[in-house]
Chain A
Amino acid sequence: MSTLSATNLKNASSASNNIVLNSDGTVGGAALASATEMFGTRTTGTNTAGSTTLTVGSATGISAGMFIVGEGIVPGTTVSTIVGTTVTMSQASAASPNLGLTGTEPVIFYANNKLVSPGVIGSMLCRAWVNFKGTSTVAIRASYNVSSITDNGAGDYTVNFTTAMADANYGIDVSASNSQSFINDADFGGADPTTSAVRIGTRTSAATFQDTPYVCVAIFR
Protein backbone atom coordinates (compact mmCIF):
# COMPACT_ATOMS: atom_id res chain seq x y z
CA MET A 1 0.00 0.00 0.00
CA SER A 2 1.37 3.36 -0.95
CA THR A 3 1.01 6.54 1.07
CA LEU A 4 0.34 9.95 -0.36
CA SER A 5 2.61 12.43 1.43
CA ALA A 6 1.37 15.98 1.38
CA THR A 7 0.78 18.90 3.69
CA ASN A 8 -2.36 20.24 2.06
CA LEU A 9 -5.07 19.13 -0.32
CA LYS A 10 -6.46 21.78 -2.61
CA ASN A 11 -8.90 21.75 -5.47
CA ALA A 12 -7.26 23.10 -8.61
CA SER A 13 -9.87 25.85 -8.81
CA SER A 14 -9.79 26.70 -5.12
CA ALA A 15 -8.03 29.82 -3.84
CA SER A 16 -7.14 28.21 -0.52
CA ASN A 17 -6.33 24.80 0.86
CA ASN A 18 -9.42 22.64 1.29
CA ILE A 19 -7.88 20.24 3.79
CA VAL A 20 -4.74 20.82 5.85
CA LEU A 21 -2.91 17.64 6.83
CA ASN A 22 -1.28 18.29 10.18
CA SER A 23 1.97 16.61 11.20
CA ASP A 24 0.29 14.90 14.16
CA GLY A 25 -2.12 13.07 11.87
CA THR A 26 -5.07 15.38 12.41
CA VAL A 27 -6.76 17.47 9.75
CA GLY A 28 -7.74 21.12 9.53
CA GLY A 29 -8.59 23.75 6.99
CA ALA A 30 -11.69 25.19 5.44
CA ALA A 31 -13.32 21.79 5.10
CA LEU A 32 -13.99 21.68 8.84
CA ALA A 33 -17.25 23.22 10.04
CA SER A 34 -16.91 26.16 12.40
CA ALA A 35 -19.09 26.65 15.47
CA THR A 36 -20.97 29.37 13.62
CA GLU A 37 -21.62 27.04 10.72
CA MET A 38 -22.90 24.42 13.15
CA PHE A 39 -25.56 26.89 14.31
CA GLY A 40 -26.51 27.51 10.68
CA THR A 41 -27.52 30.59 8.74
CA ARG A 42 -30.78 31.86 10.22
CA THR A 43 -33.35 34.01 8.45
CA THR A 44 -37.04 33.92 7.59
CA GLY A 45 -38.73 32.37 4.58
CA THR A 46 -42.07 32.55 2.81
CA ASN A 47 -43.55 30.13 0.34
CA THR A 48 -46.75 28.34 -0.46
CA ALA A 49 -47.43 24.67 0.04
CA GLY A 50 -46.37 22.59 -2.92
CA SER A 51 -44.15 25.30 -4.35
CA THR A 52 -40.37 24.90 -4.50
CA THR A 53 -39.81 28.66 -4.46
CA LEU A 54 -38.79 30.12 -1.11
CA THR A 55 -38.37 33.86 -0.58
CA VAL A 56 -35.91 34.53 2.23
CA GLY A 57 -35.54 37.60 4.41
CA SER A 58 -31.80 37.69 3.81
CA ALA A 59 -29.65 35.82 1.30
CA THR A 60 -26.41 36.39 3.19
CA GLY A 61 -24.53 33.16 3.77
CA ILE A 62 -26.86 31.03 1.64
CA SER A 63 -25.48 29.07 -1.29
CA ALA A 64 -26.52 26.24 -3.55
CA GLY A 65 -26.40 22.81 -1.99
CA MET A 66 -27.13 23.92 1.59
CA PHE A 67 -29.72 22.00 3.58
CA ILE A 68 -32.89 23.89 4.52
CA VAL A 69 -34.62 23.31 7.87
CA GLY A 70 -37.97 24.92 8.68
CA GLU A 71 -41.57 24.20 9.57
CA GLY A 72 -43.28 22.38 6.72
CA ILE A 73 -40.07 21.79 4.77
CA VAL A 74 -39.37 18.14 4.09
CA PRO A 75 -36.17 16.99 5.83
CA GLY A 76 -33.33 16.64 3.34
CA THR A 77 -34.48 19.56 1.19
CA THR A 78 -31.56 21.57 -0.23
CA VAL A 79 -30.97 24.81 -2.11
CA SER A 80 -31.00 24.12 -5.86
CA THR A 81 -30.36 27.73 -6.85
CA ILE A 82 -30.47 31.15 -5.24
CA VAL A 83 -31.07 34.36 -7.16
CA GLY A 84 -31.37 37.49 -5.02
CA THR A 85 -33.63 36.41 -2.15
CA THR A 86 -35.37 33.73 -4.19
CA VAL A 87 -34.35 30.21 -3.32
CA THR A 88 -35.39 27.26 -5.46
CA MET A 89 -35.66 24.25 -3.22
CA SER A 90 -35.04 20.67 -4.15
CA GLN A 91 -37.90 18.47 -3.11
CA ALA A 92 -36.52 15.72 -0.91
CA SER A 93 -39.14 13.29 -2.02
CA ALA A 94 -41.53 13.50 -4.93
CA ALA A 95 -43.99 11.64 -2.77
CA SER A 96 -43.95 14.42 -0.16
CA PRO A 97 -46.39 17.08 -1.32
CA ASN A 98 -46.35 19.16 1.87
CA LEU A 99 -43.37 21.24 0.91
CA GLY A 100 -44.29 24.62 2.27
CA LEU A 101 -44.17 27.00 5.21
CA THR A 102 -47.35 28.39 6.69
CA GLY A 103 -46.78 32.10 6.15
CA THR A 104 -43.43 33.65 6.98
CA GLU A 105 -41.48 31.41 9.32
CA PRO A 106 -37.91 31.00 10.57
CA VAL A 107 -35.70 28.91 8.30
CA ILE A 108 -32.14 27.72 8.85
CA PHE A 109 -29.58 26.86 6.19
CA TYR A 110 -26.80 24.36 6.94
CA ALA A 111 -23.69 23.59 4.90
CA ASN A 112 -23.81 20.22 3.17
CA ASN A 113 -20.10 19.94 2.46
CA LYS A 114 -18.28 20.32 5.79
CA LEU A 115 -16.53 17.88 8.08
CA VAL A 116 -17.69 17.93 11.68
CA SER A 117 -15.07 18.03 14.42
CA PRO A 118 -15.81 16.72 17.93
CA GLY A 119 -14.31 19.91 19.28
CA VAL A 120 -17.04 21.95 17.62
CA ILE A 121 -20.05 19.83 18.49
CA GLY A 122 -18.82 18.53 21.84
CA SER A 123 -21.16 20.63 23.97
CA MET A 124 -24.10 20.17 21.62
CA LEU A 125 -24.42 16.44 22.16
CA CYS A 126 -26.80 14.42 24.21
CA ARG A 127 -24.43 12.58 26.57
CA ALA A 128 -26.88 9.99 27.80
CA TRP A 129 -30.55 9.12 27.45
CA VAL A 130 -32.99 6.43 28.42
CA ASN A 131 -36.63 5.56 27.81
CA PHE A 132 -38.12 3.05 30.22
CA LYS A 133 -41.39 1.65 31.49
CA GLY A 134 -41.99 2.44 35.14
CA THR A 135 -45.10 0.33 35.70
CA SER A 136 -45.66 -3.38 36.46
CA THR A 137 -42.37 -5.06 35.47
CA VAL A 138 -39.99 -2.14 34.97
CA ALA A 139 -38.28 -2.41 31.55
CA ILE A 140 -35.78 -0.30 29.63
CA ARG A 141 -36.94 0.29 26.05
CA ALA A 142 -33.82 1.99 24.69
CA SER A 143 -30.84 3.91 26.01
CA TYR A 144 -27.43 5.38 25.32
CA ASN A 145 -24.54 5.65 27.80
CA VAL A 146 -26.77 4.32 30.58
CA SER A 147 -25.51 1.28 32.44
CA SER A 148 -28.70 0.79 34.43
CA ILE A 149 -31.66 2.40 36.13
CA THR A 150 -32.32 1.89 39.80
CA ASP A 151 -35.93 1.55 40.89
CA ASN A 152 -35.89 3.05 44.40
CA GLY A 153 -39.64 3.05 44.93
CA ALA A 154 -42.87 4.22 43.36
CA GLY A 155 -42.02 6.99 40.88
CA ASP A 156 -38.46 7.19 42.23
CA TYR A 157 -35.61 6.18 39.92
CA THR A 158 -31.86 6.69 39.51
CA VAL A 159 -30.28 6.80 36.03
CA ASN A 160 -26.70 5.46 36.17
CA PHE A 161 -24.25 6.48 33.43
CA THR A 162 -21.92 4.01 31.72
CA THR A 163 -19.27 6.68 31.17
CA ALA A 164 -19.33 9.38 33.83
CA MET A 165 -19.93 13.03 33.01
CA ALA A 166 -17.04 15.47 33.23
CA ASP A 167 -18.86 17.22 36.07
CA ALA A 168 -22.34 17.41 37.54
CA ASN A 169 -23.23 20.69 35.80
CA TYR A 170 -25.15 19.02 33.02
CA GLY A 171 -28.63 19.77 31.72
CA ILE A 172 -31.33 17.24 32.49
CA ASP A 173 -34.57 16.75 30.62
CA VAL A 174 -37.10 14.51 32.30
CA SER A 175 -40.52 13.75 30.90
CA ALA A 176 -43.15 11.21 31.83
CA SER A 177 -46.62 10.12 30.85
CA ASN A 178 -49.44 8.27 32.48
CA SER A 179 -52.35 6.67 30.71
CA GLN A 180 -54.75 7.56 33.49
CA SER A 181 -53.68 11.02 34.62
CA PHE A 182 -51.09 13.64 33.89
CA ILE A 183 -47.81 13.46 35.65
CA ASN A 184 -47.62 16.94 37.06
CA ASP A 185 -43.96 16.94 37.84
CA ALA A 186 -40.99 15.00 36.52
CA ASP A 187 -37.86 16.25 38.13
CA PHE A 188 -34.80 15.59 40.26
CA GLY A 189 -35.77 13.13 42.96
CA GLY A 190 -34.55 15.34 45.75
CA ALA A 191 -30.89 14.43 45.41
CA ASP A 192 -28.17 16.47 43.73
CA PRO A 193 -26.96 15.09 40.40
CA THR A 194 -23.51 13.49 40.44
CA THR A 195 -21.05 12.74 37.65
CA SER A 196 -22.13 9.10 37.67
CA ALA A 197 -25.89 9.24 38.18
CA VAL A 198 -29.00 11.39 38.52
CA ARG A 199 -32.06 10.60 40.63
CA ILE A 200 -35.43 11.57 39.20
CA GLY A 201 -39.02 11.45 40.36
CA THR A 202 -42.44 11.33 38.72
CA ARG A 203 -45.29 12.78 40.75
CA THR A 204 -49.00 13.49 40.54
CA SER A 205 -50.51 16.96 40.90
CA ALA A 206 -50.78 16.18 44.62
CA ALA A 207 -46.97 15.76 44.68
CA THR A 208 -47.34 12.05 45.35
CA PHE A 209 -44.71 9.85 43.72
CA GLN A 210 -46.35 7.66 41.12
CA ASP A 211 -45.21 5.08 38.58
CA THR A 212 -45.81 5.93 34.96
CA PRO A 213 -45.65 3.89 31.72
CA TYR A 214 -43.19 6.18 29.95
CA VAL A 215 -40.21 7.86 31.62
CA CYS A 216 -37.68 9.60 29.37
CA VAL A 217 -34.46 11.21 30.58
CA ALA A 218 -31.83 13.02 28.48
CA ILE A 219 -28.53 14.52 29.65
CA PHE A 220 -26.77 17.37 27.86
CA ARG A 221 -23.33 18.78 28.63
Chain B
Amino acid sequence: MKRIIYQNESGGVSVIHPTGELSIEEVAAKDVPEGVAYEIVEDDAIPADRFFRNAWVMGDCCVEHDLDKCKALGHDIRRQQRAEEFAPHDEVIMKQIPGKDAAAAEEARQEIRDKYAAIQDEIDAAASPDEIKVALGVAEVSDGGQE
Protein backbone atom coordinates (compact mmCIF):
# COMPACT_ATOMS: atom_id res chain seq x y z
CA MET B 1 0.00 0.00 0.00
CA LYS B 2 1.39 3.36 -0.98
CA ARG B 3 1.41 6.47 1.19
CA ILE B 4 2.15 10.12 0.54
CA ILE B 5 4.53 11.93 2.86
CA TYR B 6 5.45 15.58 3.09
CA GLN B 7 7.04 17.97 5.56
CA ASN B 8 4.31 19.80 7.44
CA GLU B 9 4.15 23.33 8.81
CA SER B 10 5.68 22.34 12.16
CA GLY B 11 8.71 20.70 10.56
CA GLY B 12 7.43 17.18 11.16
CA VAL B 13 6.04 14.69 8.70
CA SER B 14 2.43 14.32 7.59
CA VAL B 15 1.45 10.95 6.17
CA ILE B 16 -1.54 10.65 3.83
CA HIS B 17 -3.38 7.31 3.87
CA PRO B 18 -5.63 6.98 0.77
CA THR B 19 -8.94 5.15 1.07
CA GLY B 20 -8.86 3.90 -2.51
CA GLU B 21 -11.74 6.04 -3.78
CA LEU B 22 -9.21 7.95 -5.90
CA SER B 23 -5.86 7.01 -7.38
CA ILE B 24 -2.76 7.87 -5.36
CA GLU B 25 -1.87 10.55 -7.91
CA GLU B 26 -5.32 12.13 -7.62
CA VAL B 27 -5.08 12.07 -3.84
CA ALA B 28 -1.66 13.70 -3.97
CA ALA B 29 -2.94 16.43 -6.26
CA LYS B 30 -5.97 17.08 -4.07
CA ASP B 31 -4.90 16.44 -0.46
CA VAL B 32 -1.29 17.63 -0.28
CA PRO B 33 -1.26 21.35 0.61
CA GLU B 34 -0.68 23.51 -2.45
CA GLY B 35 2.96 24.11 -3.28
CA VAL B 36 4.31 21.54 -0.83
CA ALA B 37 6.77 18.93 -2.11
CA TYR B 38 5.77 15.34 -1.44
CA GLU B 39 6.89 11.77 -2.00
CA ILE B 40 4.90 8.62 -2.70
CA VAL B 41 6.35 5.74 -0.67
CA GLU B 42 5.52 2.18 0.34
CA ASP B 43 4.08 1.91 3.83
CA ASP B 44 7.17 0.12 5.09
CA ALA B 45 8.98 3.46 4.69
CA ILE B 46 6.95 4.71 7.65
CA PRO B 47 7.77 3.65 11.22
CA ALA B 48 5.20 1.34 12.81
CA ASP B 49 6.26 2.51 16.27
CA ARG B 50 4.44 5.79 16.95
CA PHE B 51 5.76 6.40 20.47
CA PHE B 52 7.86 9.32 19.23
CA ARG B 53 5.44 10.18 16.42
CA ASN B 54 6.03 13.90 16.78
CA ALA B 55 9.76 13.39 16.25
CA TRP B 56 9.33 12.03 12.73
CA VAL B 57 11.18 13.86 9.97
CA MET B 58 11.66 13.36 6.25
CA GLY B 59 14.73 11.23 5.54
CA ASP B 60 16.49 10.41 2.29
CA CYS B 61 14.51 7.26 1.62
CA CYS B 62 11.88 7.13 4.29
CA VAL B 63 10.51 8.67 7.44
CA GLU B 64 13.11 8.83 10.19
CA HIS B 65 13.28 9.81 13.85
CA ASP B 66 15.02 13.05 14.81
CA LEU B 67 16.96 11.92 17.88
CA ASP B 68 17.07 15.38 19.45
CA LYS B 69 13.28 15.66 19.15
CA CYS B 70 12.93 12.18 20.61
CA LYS B 71 15.05 13.22 23.56
CA ALA B 72 13.00 16.38 24.06
CA LEU B 73 9.81 14.29 24.05
CA GLY B 74 11.49 11.78 26.36
CA HIS B 75 12.34 14.52 28.84
CA ASP B 76 8.71 15.72 28.75
CA ILE B 77 7.58 12.22 29.63
CA ARG B 78 10.26 11.95 32.32
CA ARG B 79 9.07 15.19 33.94
CA GLN B 80 5.49 14.01 33.80
CA GLN B 81 6.39 10.67 35.41
CA ARG B 82 8.42 12.43 38.08
CA ALA B 83 5.60 14.85 38.86
CA GLU B 84 3.21 11.95 39.32
CA GLU B 85 5.59 10.27 41.76
CA PHE B 86 6.25 13.55 43.58
CA ALA B 87 2.57 14.37 44.01
CA PRO B 88 1.73 12.39 47.18
CA HIS B 89 4.90 13.56 48.93
CA ASP B 90 4.39 17.17 47.83
CA GLU B 91 1.02 17.11 49.49
CA VAL B 92 2.49 15.98 52.82
CA ILE B 93 5.08 18.71 52.78
CA MET B 94 2.92 21.56 51.48
CA LYS B 95 -0.06 20.88 53.72
CA GLN B 96 1.96 19.79 56.78
CA ILE B 97 -0.63 17.05 57.28
CA PRO B 98 -0.74 16.05 61.00
CA GLY B 99 0.43 12.49 61.56
CA LYS B 100 2.44 12.48 58.35
CA ASP B 101 6.21 12.51 58.53
CA ALA B 102 7.42 15.48 56.46
CA ALA B 103 11.04 14.40 56.85
CA ALA B 104 10.23 10.97 55.41
CA ALA B 105 8.36 12.62 52.55
CA GLU B 106 11.37 14.80 51.80
CA GLU B 107 13.58 11.75 51.88
CA ALA B 108 11.27 10.01 49.39
CA ARG B 109 11.34 13.08 47.18
CA GLN B 110 15.14 13.00 47.16
CA GLU B 111 15.10 9.36 46.08
CA ILE B 112 12.77 10.29 43.24
CA ARG B 113 15.05 13.18 42.25
CA ASP B 114 18.05 10.85 42.18
CA LYS B 115 16.15 8.23 40.17
CA TYR B 116 15.04 10.71 37.54
CA ALA B 117 18.42 12.43 37.42
CA ALA B 118 19.82 9.05 36.37
CA ILE B 119 17.07 8.65 33.79
CA GLN B 120 17.84 12.14 32.49
CA ASP B 121 21.48 11.13 31.99
CA GLU B 122 20.41 7.93 30.23
CA ILE B 123 18.16 9.86 27.86
CA ASP B 124 20.89 12.39 27.10
CA ALA B 125 23.33 9.57 26.34
CA ALA B 126 20.86 7.51 24.26
CA ALA B 127 21.93 6.72 20.71
CA SER B 128 18.48 5.66 19.45
CA PRO B 129 14.77 6.13 20.19
CA ASP B 130 14.66 2.59 21.57
CA GLU B 131 17.31 3.43 24.15
CA ILE B 132 15.22 6.40 25.29
CA LYS B 133 12.21 4.14 25.71
CA VAL B 134 14.30 1.71 27.74
CA ALA B 135 15.46 4.59 29.96
CA LEU B 136 11.84 5.59 30.48
CA GLY B 137 10.76 2.03 31.20
CA VAL B 138 8.20 2.10 28.41
CA ALA B 139 9.84 -0.22 25.91
CA GLU B 140 6.62 -2.15 25.39
CA VAL B 141 4.54 0.89 24.52
CA SER B 142 4.28 1.67 20.81
CA ASP B 143 1.47 4.21 20.49
CA GLY B 144 1.96 7.92 20.29
CA GLY B 145 1.17 9.62 23.55
CA GLN B 146 3.04 12.86 23.45
CA GLU B 147 1.95 16.27 22.33
Interface residues of A (CB under 8 A from B): 130, 132, 135-140, 143, 145-155, 158, 160, 162, 196-197, 204, 208-211
Contacts and interface: CB of A to CB of B under 8 A. Distances in A.
B50 A149 contact: no
Interface residues of B, number: 29
Interface of B: 4, 8, 10, 12, 14-19, 21-22, 26-27, 30-31, 43, 46, 48-50, 53-54, 142-147
B18 A211 contact: no
A107 B14 CA distance: 48
Contacts of B143: 135-136, 210-211
A152 B53 CA distance: 9
Contact of A148 (B10, B27, B46): B27
A145 B21 contact: yes
Contacts of B30: 147, 160, 196
A135 B15 contact: no
Nearest to B28: A148
A156 B12 CA distance: 12
A148 B49 CA distance: 21
A143 B146 contact: no
A126 B14 CA distance: 27
B14 A151 contact: yes
Nearest to B56: A153
Contacts of A162: 19, 21-22
B4, B43, B146 pick with most chain A CB within 10 angstroms = B146
Contacts, number: 96
B147 A148 contact: no
Contacts of B53: 153-154, 211
Of all A-B residue pairs in the complex, the 5 with the closest CB atoms, nearest first, are A154-B144, A211-B144, A154-B53, A160-B31, A135-B143
B112 to A, nearest CB: 20
B69 to A, nearest CB: 11
B141 to A, nearest CB: 9
A144 to B, nearest CB: 9
A157 B43 CA distance: 17
Contacts of B43: 137
A209 to B, nearest CB: 5
Contacts of B22: 147-148, 162
Contacts of B14: 150-153, 158
Contacts of B48: 136-137
19 contacts: A137-B48, A145-B21, A146-B21, A147-B22, A148-B4, A149-B16, A150-B15, A150-B17, A152-B8, A152-B12, A153-B12, A153-B54, A154-B144, A154-B146, A154-B147, A155-B144, A196-B30, A197-B31, A210-B145
